[in-house]
Chain A
Amino acid sequence: MSFRLPTFPGGVHPPDCKAPSAGCPVAAAPMPEKLAVTLAQGLGAPSRPVVAVGDRVLRGQLIAEPGGFVSAAIHAPTSGKVEAIGDCPHPAGVKAHAIYITPDGADEWAPGANVPAPAEAVAALKPKEIVEKVKAAGLVGMGGAAFPTHVKLSPPNDKPIDTVILNGCECEPYLTSDYRMMLEHAPEIVTGLRLLVRAVGAVRGVIAVEANKPDAYERLLREVRGIEGLSCRMVAVKYPQGAEKQLIKAILGREVPSGGLPMDAGALVQNVGTAAAVSDAVCFNRPLTERVVTISGDGIERPANLLCRIGVSYRTLLAAQGVKTEARRLISGGPMMGLAQWTADVPVTKGTSGILVLTTPPPPDWTACINCGKCVEGCPARLMPNRLSKLGEFRRFEDMAGRNVLDCIECGVCTWQCPAKRPIVQWIRQGKNELRLAKLKAEAAKKKAEAPEGVLPK
């Protein structure tokens, strides 16, 4: 290519492995005998159930309300009976309760849900009202991090957002759910983008698509043509192009300040799937009850993109798509940043972009760093992973703080590349955690020291 596509410094090119599922149109996933709707759908506080065991619920009916500001509402994914509310394994490995629903097969919508809103009514919505509708629909970021969307849409007044970026990079290998969304739901994505731009008062909306998805790019380009303020940009194929800060750098040339949020750079980044969900929520009063999940990996017989109800267990989906006997790993998300699962009984959540079954054997034993510099070259945060890894190797976690370890985005580029197979990002995670614990301890000690004599601190 004679011109250079926008991108960020660093990064790597892992094999994209998207071919097995890229050509599969989104198909409906099987409806299981039981749905486990976990109360920890997104980042932040778990939601509070508002239904009782034995209740009959309808699809789209609120079953749990936000448990705090950073928390999202949850709706029944189908009509049925609340069987139980209790423990449930969670794909993020956290302890969480789930509302177990036995579908009744009618899949009946709750009154008022799934009703198209008149175009004039949508056009008349004030920014605050759009955010309210997004909040009411229980939207979280669907790219994987599952951060409640309404929180991102409510920046403080002193942090104006001028650009909304829709993330259609899908830089993780294997995943094709965003790609299928862009091909099949381009109008909804663009409608969602317009709503997001209005909600935060931005002046422009940009859809970023990696150059390995030219058909999705063309499709969206057709859709945004002629709409003022909206554009579609092709970005270089590179991992982690879809990381929020790296995408902002590529599109706007701005760096989100260390420790800051995208709004500090005047940007809001949302996944393309989230934008489609915004459109559904605002224009159709459709709460988030289902999402597209890529089922792929070299251990899957029939890779697919499935429209799954929230709460369907991985086991059901794997049974439908077939698992090869060599299967070794079960991953929620992509191979670079996804979470390994110890059981297939975890349910699909609003943040599940893909379920991968890989045959990858355990990595060989790591050896000493040979200083090849590939991690330094590839680090999108421009850290020195080689030095951090040596600190990790000798458990000098407290020294990591002086090396900007908190700026690590944990993309795994260093570890993916390392010829010595060193668990670099794993040490960094451990270091970050040790630092967090040390800080908590120091705060507790300070509190104790400041407490008046004879009074025991709580």
Chain B
Amino acid sequence: MTEPAAPQGAPSAPPAPQAPAARLPEKWLVGSSPHARSGETVSQIMWTVALALLPTCAAGVVVFGWYAGLIIVLAASSAVVAEGIVQKALGRKVSVSDGSAAVTGVLLACCLPPNVKWYVPVVGSFVAIFIGKQLFGGLGRNYFNPALIGRAFLQFAFPTQLMMPQWPIVTRGSVFESLTGDIFKVASGTPGGADAVSLATPLAVIDPGTRALPADASPLAALGKGMGLDHGADVLRDLFLGNVPGCIGEVSKLAIILGGLILLFNRYINWRLPVAYVGAALVAVLVLPVKDFAGHWTGIYAADVYWPYIGQTLLVHLLSGGLLLGAVFMITDMVTRPTTVKGQVIYGIAAGVIVAMIRLYGGYPEGVCYSILLVNAARLVVEKYSMPRVFGTKRA
């Protein structure tokens, strides 16, 4: 039994180039294949999401002023601090640099009104990180979107600050004023707020006798009036650009879509999920019956008068409230959505229908937060029943 010649060194046969014996490493690194990995990391994903949120945050600051920026910074930094403290306390590896806590904080700030007291985002971030994330086991093991857990908690902890009976008024030209001026210029008693007004649907104001709409029943006109905006035709433009009251991150649809494009470009979200979510919400708004002002249930099928306003109704529902913010940044949260594409579509549709039902029937004007938390709970079930057919097997 001979051992293979250990130093075989320089080859001897004629075709060999005279090469010196290679200096090989004393030990080779061994492991099971693959021996190469893609360069993508979790923190890269998280910081890219943070980057995608930047336009939205910037729009919030532009519309509402520096105090909104302070809320965002407070929420993000207290989320990071909370993550560090909780991880230390639970004896886990501190991983605040992966960016996930910062993203949670920014997302939480995005769904807060711009005039909450400074401690609201701090408390919310702590709850989001501690209860929403670390108690489940940390990043990747949470079942619910931590930012929305924080938001839902704040809803009950500080109802007066979050139910938004008061809204900062945004008037034409106030964008630049707000940068320097008094951002607490609050109009008390403004009816509802953007979300509440977004419920305006012609169906609810149809006169059952004449089957006609009152003069100001166009959803846009109603919305403009409700928001204290006095420039009817520009309501859509302002809704799109963000020159409207609302939560910090939800006002500028342009900024949200820009962020969404960043996520799409990096393939961190699949377009089908937000589209299914928004699409299902809009279809449900159209199809679900609502009560008219006389208390009669009526539906799209009964209201010929409704047709001319379908476009407006849909735009109002699409552009007001947090639907787009939720569709781009919340429901697409990797950790809490199903991984299969089919599952994501089902999941998005379910959440969309829930949004519409909360908006139309609920006691709370906005349904985005709760719709997503509800489907979060169903994530694993949806994934289980939407698994792809394994290669080479028959469809069950």
Contact = CB atoms under 8 A, between A and B. Distances in A.
Interface of A: 12, 14, 28-34, 36, 83-84, 86-89, 98, 100, 103, 105, 173, 245, 249, 255-260, 313, 315-316, 318-323, 325, 327-331, 335-345, 347, 356, 358, 360, 362-364, 367-373, 376-377, 380-384, 386, 404, 407, 410, 412, 415-421, 423, 425-426, 429
B180 interface: no
Q: Is the interface of A mostly helix, strand, loop or mixed?
A: loop
Interface of B: 1-17, 19-25, 27-38, 40-42, 44-45, 95, 137-141, 268, 334-337, 339-341, 383, 387-393
Contacts of B42: 367, 370, 419-420
B32 A425 contact: yes
Which has the most chain A C-beta neighbours within 10 Å: B4, B10, B42, B137?
A: B4
Nearest to B95: A367
A364 B93 CA distance: 14
B392 A416 contact: no
Given A335-B34, A425-B33, A103 B340 contact: no
B2 A86 contact: yes
A19 B20 CA distance: 25
B33 A339 contact: yes
10 A-B pairs closest in CB distance: A31-B13, A30-B16, A30-B11, A373-B339, A368-B140, A412-B34, A86-B1, A258-B392, A84-B2, A340-B30
Nearest to B339: A373
10 contacts: A34-B5, A105-B13, A257-B393, A260-B392, A318-B22, A356-B35, A376-B388, A419-B40, A425-B33, A429-B32
Contact of B2 (A100, A322, A372): A100
Given A323-B24, A344-B24, A371-B140, A31 B36 contact: no
Q: Is the interface of B mostly helix, strand, loop or mixed?
A: loop
Given A14-B38, A320-B17, A370-B139, A340 B11 contact: no
A98 B19 CA distance: 26
A320 B391 contact: no
Given A33-B5, A105-B14, A315-B7, 18 more contacts: A30-B11, A83-B2, A105-B13, A318-B22, A319-B22, A321-B19, A323-B23, A331-B33, A342-B30, A345-B6, A360-B29, A376-B388, A381-B391, A382-B389, A384-B340, A386-B339, A407-B393, A426-B32
B105 to A, nearest CB: 17
A86 B1 CA distance: 5
A407 B390 contact: yes
A83 B5 CA distance: 12
Contacts of B27: 342
Contacts of B22: 315, 318-319, 322-323
Contact of A335 (B6, B28, B36): B36
Given A319-B21, A382-B389, A32 B35 contact: no
A419 B393 contact: no
Contacts of B2: 83-84, 86, 100
B235 to A, nearest CB: 38
A340 B29 CA distance: 8
A417 B38 contact: yes
Contact of A368 (B16, B139, B388): B139
Given A30-B17, A256-B392, A341-B30, A421 B41 contact: yes
Which has the most chain A C-beta neighbours within 10 Å: B12, B29, B268?
A: B29
